[in-house]
Structures are given as C-alpha cells and as structure tokens.
Amino acid sequence: MEKGYISRFYKTMSPEDQRKYNRWLMGNAVIGSILAMGLVAMAIAGFNSAPSPTMANSKNPDVIASKPGHDISARSRTQSPAP
C-alpha cells in the first residue's frame, strides 16, 4: 500500500460517506478512551490497595483450614471454632 492512500481515498468519498466515516471514527475513539480510562483506574486501584492486616489474623475457619498442617475436610469446615 502506497503512502497517503487512505487520505486520497477519503478525499474521493462523497460528503455523506465522509460524515459516516467521521462518526464511526469518533465513536471508536470515544469507546477506546473510556476503556483506557477504566484500565488506568483499575491499575491505580490495584496499586494503592494493600492487604488488610486483620485478614491475615482472621479466625475464619476457611482461612485456618487453608494453612498447612490443618485438616481441610468438609466436617472440619462446617464446625464452628471453639470460643
């Protein structure tokens, strides 16, 4: 494809086709910008979030059962922990 082919093709389009192309191009730019802003927001939120220290010290039976050396059977997970 030679250089400047798209711009020459655009100039030969009818005014109606140029408007349709401009709308299509603008719509893609808007949607792409929204998606990019969402990705940046998720990256910032993930970067700023730190694990909660209370989660590490939780008495949740699922957390305790996932530690090495603990029984992870269904019976041990359904029993309430001793007070």
10-residue block means of pLDDT along the chain (83 residues)? 79 94 97 98 84 58 54 56 57
Q: Same domain for 41 and 64?
A: no
Q: Domains in the chain: how many in total?
A: 2
Same domain, 15 and 3: yes
| In a shared domain, residues 45 and 17 | yes
pLDDT at residue 48 in the model? 75
In which domain, by residue range, is 39 found? 1-49
pTM: 0.51
- The whole-angstrom separation of Cα 41 and Cα 51 is 18
CA 70/CA 76 separation, integer angstroms: 9
